[in-house]
Amino acid sequence: MPATSSSSAQPPSVLQQIWWSNAFVFLTVHAAACVGVYYHPLSSTPRATLILAVVLWQAACFSITIGYHRLYSHRSFEAGQKTRAFLAVLGTSAFQGSIKWWVLRHRLHHRYTDDPVHDPYSATRGLMWSHMGWIFFKHHYERMKTIDREDLEQDSIVRFQHQYYAVLALSTAIVFPTLLGTLWNDAMGALIWAGLVARIAVWHCTFLVNSLAHWDGLQPYSDENTSRVNLIVAVLTCGEGNHNYHAFPQDFRSDPSIFAWDPSKWIILGLQRIGFARDLRQAREEDLSCALWRMHFKTHVAPDDLITTQKTFTADVPPMTVAEIRAYVLRVQGRCILAVDNLVVDVTEYLHDHPGGDALLRKYSIKAKTFHEDQPDERVKELRDRTTAAFQGGINKHTLAAYDRLKELAVGCLVLY
Ligand SMILES: [Zn+2]
Ligand SMILES: [Zn+2]
């Protein structure tokens, strides 16, 4: 009997899953650095070369933190073309893929944190996997299509950087330090220390955010996922180790405290002062206080108190029929109204702050055309069910802070007949 196409499809073998080009580059750089350090040890390396290595390592680190992460992934501040271009080019020196490649995976990580299937570097798959194991395997991320990418595709700098990534990365990470080394007759030393060794340093420092900062440390804001505050990682990554701030990714800081180690936020503030950055976004004080209070209450006062951990849709709002929703939608065109569980929520003012992008919220909104179809009650109910499923994990397993914000924005309690 002939086998059907679905039953004959064999899952790819481990060898077929390995991302050979990634593995080759990764292992070659490590091996070349080891050989280089053996023949050109620290003791015989000019001080200028070592200073160059440290400067370029830190420059690459900051370009990932400020550029790839806070500017491009989370849009936590706005910057002009020159600043964006500078960070995009400098970012190639970190040798971590193009902005587009990096940002899409990082957005996936935030949306499905700890999910062993959908989070590319899920900490629940083990320390080694989250640190660098995931880089060695090709993976088809079926939820990638739900990730907001419009901003990346419309950005000419991102498109250019993606297209010419290999040339840019080799130039900034390898050729540039080697040429600088010729200024004091140590091109080989500069290639080894400021090129190869500094690349390995920036790789593993960034990887520590995905591994150690999801493994060991404090959780002052939330324990809904494995993200933690790890001071060692913060020091090694220009502040990114304050990683328990996962719930507030749109904030330009990794921690609001002036005592937290986060040099990147001070640089962004400095860029704002001289006109290279603007519209710095911050989580609301009340949201931060609520998160801190909730964790304090849970940890020190009532560890088993369900009130601190329950995700409910109860809000003190008036009943709202479908006819009243229709009147609300038609009254002010262009507003973004959602039905989630039993709540009718006007998220218009929140569109700009939504970490997953405004397009996603608009996709689920109740629009005027909803009421042009037959049985509008049924249409609203269907939309409500889809939105609720998406909110509760279908698209994003939202945090307690998100539930709080949803209830705050509620304008009515949905009444269906
Ligand atoms: Zn994380
Ligand atoms: Zn992030």
**Where are the domains positioned within the chain?**
10-278, 319-415
One-letter amino acid of 208: L
Ligand closest to CA 119: 1
Residue 228 CA to ligand 1 centre (angstroms): 9
231 within 8 A of 257, measured Cβ to Cβ: no
Give me 176's structure tokens: 């540039």
CA distances from 376 to 90, 325, 327, 383, 413 (A): 53, 11, 13, 10, 17
Residue 369 CA to ligand 1 centre (angstroms): 39
CA distances from 393 to 113, 115, 144, 187, 396 (A): 11, 11, 15, 53, 5
Residue 63 CA to ligand 1 centre (angstroms): 18
Ligand closest to CA 123: 1
Check residue 397 and report its DSSP letter: B
Residue 268 CA to ligand 1 centre (angstroms): 21
Residue 207 CA to ligand 1 centre (angstroms): 10
Cβ neighbours for 224, distance < 8 A, ≥ 6 positions apart: 247, 399, 400
What pLDDT was estimated at residue 1? 39
Alpha helices in 18-148 (DSSP H): 20-39, 47-62, 81-92, 99-111, 127-131
Phi, psi of 218 (to 5 degrees): -90, 160
Residues of 181-198 as b/e, b for ≥16 C-beta within 10 angstroms? beeeebbbbbbbbbbbbb
How far is 263 from 62, CA to CA, in rounded Å? 9
How far is 22 from 307, CA to CA, in rounded Å? 47
How far is 372 from 262, CA to CA, in rounded Å? 52
319-415 CATH choice from 3.10.120.10, 1.10.3720.10, 3.40.50.300, 3.50.50.60: 3.10.120.10
What pLDDT was estimated at residue 22? 92
Residue 5 CA to ligand 2 centre (angstroms): 40
Number of Cα atoms under 13 Å in the Cβ half of residue 384: 20
What pLDDT was estimated at residue 9? 62
CA dihedral in degrees (160, 163, 167, 169; nearest 10)? 70
Question: Helix %, strand %, coil % for the chain, to 5?
Answer: 60, 5, 35
Ligand closest to CA 65: 2
What pLDDT was estimated at residue 329? 85
What pLDDT was estimated at residue 323? 87
Q: Which of 16, 299, 276 has the alpha carbon at shortest distance from 138? A: 16
Ligand closest to CA 254: 2
pLDDT (tens place) for every residue of the chain, 417 residues total: 344 444 456 777 777 789 999 999 999 999 999 999 999 999 999 999 999 999 999 999 999 999 999 999 999 999 999 999 999 999 999 999 999 999 999 999 999 999 999 999 999 999 999 999 999 998 889 889 889 899 999 999 999 999 999 999 999 999 999 999 999 999 999 999 999 999 999 999 999 999 999 999 999 999 989 999 999 999 999 999 999 998 899 999 999 999 999 999 999 999 999 999 999 999 999 999 989 988 888 877 766 665 566 778 888 889 999 888 888 888 877 889 999 998 999 999 898 888 888 888 998 998 887 777 677 788 888 999 999 999 988 888 888 888 889 999 999 998 877
Q: Which of 319, 322, 257 has the alpha carbon at shortest distance from 289? A: 257
Residues at Cβ < 5 Å from ligand 1 ion: 227
pLDDT (tens digit per residue) in 304-347: 665 566 778 888 889 999 888 888 888 877 889 999 998 999 99
How far is 63 from 73, CA to CA, in rounded Å? 12
Residue 254 CA to ligand 1 centre (angstroms): 12
Residue 351 CA to ligand 2 centre (angstroms): 19
Task: Please state the three-class secondary structure of 287-334 as a single string.
Answer: HHHHHHHHHHHHHHHCCCCHHHCCCCCCCCCCEEEHHHHHHHHHHCCC
Phi, psi of 397 (to 5 degrees): -85, 95
Pairing outcome for strands 410-415 and 78-79:
unpaired
Ligand closest to CA 211: 1
What pLDDT was estimated at residue 3? 42
Residue 211 CA to its chain's centroid (Å)? 14
One-letter amino acid of 91: G
